[in-house]
Amino acid sequence: MMTNPKRPIRVLIVDDSALVRKAISEALSRDPEIEVVGTAPDPYVAREKIARLDPDVITLDLEMPRMDGLTFLRILMKHHPLPVVVVSSLTQAGSQAAVEAIEAGAVDVVAKPDGTMSLGAVADRLAWHVKAAAEAGSRLRRHPERAPSQTPDPVTPIRSTGRPPHDRQIIVIGASTGGVEALRRVVPLLPTVLPPVAIVQHISATFSRAVAERLDSLAGLKVREAGDDEPLLPGECVIAPGDVHLAVEHRGGRFRTRLVRSPPLHHCRPAVDVLFRSAAEAAGPHAVAVLLTGMGTDGALGMQAVREAGGTTIAEHESSCVVYGMPRAAVELGVVDRVVPLADIPAAIVDATIRR
């Protein structure tokens, strides 16, 4: 007897541009696991189609007439929470609005298709984000109490021991879907007397700088987008630029960044595995690797390298993950020292640096 195939992910596309709606629809329709059930030129039409079509995921433009996408997103998250992938312009204003959208409850953000992107590249990227959003949505339906909050938690950094960190210590963090919001709940709580921090967040090019600037405004640590061959000092945090791998080296008594334009790994660039493996080589037993929410398996093998080098490994617990993919892969590989919910990650990081 034949079994019924898995139901496709139902997507509603909301964008005021007919050309963009067509491009996104064609791109997503190339994937047999995704079904575009409708499009809408503005939030008012979208509201009616959400009620009628019951989509699993919405792709949402932020710059629209009648009602902007950010306002619509906030209303949607309050009254009818659904997984939303923001499709934003590459302008600085668009990048800042995209970060605000993630804080308001969007699962992820991707760059709006333009004339420089092939349909195949757009299809692969959008399909990945839509599938991750659908997974986040299934967890939201199972646990509605985890709907995103639009009110940031008060930030009280963990008290440092005041002891200067070991000069070979480094903290490396990897995240994907749901990771921008997770980083907002981790990085600002870290004390300034801390080893250097390097982060890989799966994100489109141009948006990484806006994420770094947002975290810098919230944290005591100095947070910036990483450049190539820059010193990385205690009390500093760098985030990998979109579409380029980030690695670290230890030269001349200090850590330095290295940007690598090698092919994507696990369909990701930047990839967490690249950063983690470099930290294992550069810091050995003094490396602390942290794996947060995300779809896929990126980071598990890198975490294995850190563990084999004698470093400390920490993974986010399933209970707080937006998507329990990357941490699950590391746990199932047996390379995680501690598994803790997101709220306890900052304390676990500080504790690991003391133990090292």
Instruction: Note whether residue 210 is domain-resident.
Output: yes
Q: Are residues 201 and 68 in the same domain?
A: no
Supply the pTM of this predicted model. Answer: 0.90
The Cα-based distances of 127 to 109, 266, 304 in angstroms read: 12, 15, 29
CA gap 322, 307 in Å, rounded: 25
What pLDDT score does 163 carry? 57
Burial (CB count within 10 angstroms: exposed 0-12, middle 13-18, buried 19+), residue 314:
buried
Helix (H) or strand (E) holding 10: strand 9-14
> CB–CB of 293/182 below 8 Å?
yes
What pLDDT score does 140 carry? 57
CA gap 184, 82 in Å, rounded: 21
CA angle 325, 330, 331 (to 5 degrees): 95
The Cα-based distances of 126 to 35, 60, 96, 113, 204 in angstroms read: 13, 12, 20, 10, 11
Question: What six digits make up the tokens of 42?
Answer: 């503005």
Nearest residue to 343 via CA among 236, 189, 217, 199: 189
Q: Are residues 112 and 178 in the same domain?
A: no
Nearest residue to 10 via CA among 133, 109, 113: 133
Q: Are residues 28 and 130 in the same domain?
A: yes
Q: Are residues 71 and 19 in the same domain?
A: yes
Instruction: Note whether residue 151 is domain-resident.
Output: no
Q: Are residues 95 and 240 in the same domain?
A: no
What pLDDT score does 152 carry? 47
Instruction: Note whether residue 316 is domain-resident.
Output: yes
Known catalytic residues are 176, 202, 298
> CB–CB of 21/49 below 8 Å?
no
**CATH code of residue 94:** 3.40.50.2300
Please name the amino acid found at residue 42: D
Per-residue pLDDT of the chain (356 residues; tens, 9 = 90+): 343 457 899 999 999 999 889 989 998 999 999 999 999 999 999 999 999 999 999 999 998 888 999 999 999 999 999 999 998 876 667 788 889 999 999 999 888 766 555 556 667 788 989 999 999 886 655 544 444 444 445 456 666 555 556 678 999 999 999 999 999 999 999 999 899 999 999 988 778 999 999 999 999 999 999 999 999 999 999 999 988 999 999 999 999 999 999 998 988 899 999 999 999 999 999 999 999 999 999 999 999 999 999 999 999 999 999 999 999 999 999 999 999 999 999 999 999 998 66
**CATH code of residue 318:** 3.40.50.180
Q: Are residues 45 and 140 in the same domain?
A: yes
What pLDDT score does 154 carry? 46
Range of the domain at 177: 170-355
Question: What six digits make up the tokens of 283?
Answer: 């810091």
Q: Are residues 202 and 237 in the same domain?
A: yes
What pLDDT score does 89 carry? 77
Question: What six digits make up the tokens of 137?
Answer: 């949505």
Burial (CB count within 10 angstroms: exposed 0-12, middle 13-18, buried 19+), residue 284:
middle
Domain total of the chain:
2
Instruction: Note whether residue 159 is domain-resident.
Output: no
CA gap 112, 13 in Å, rounded: 12
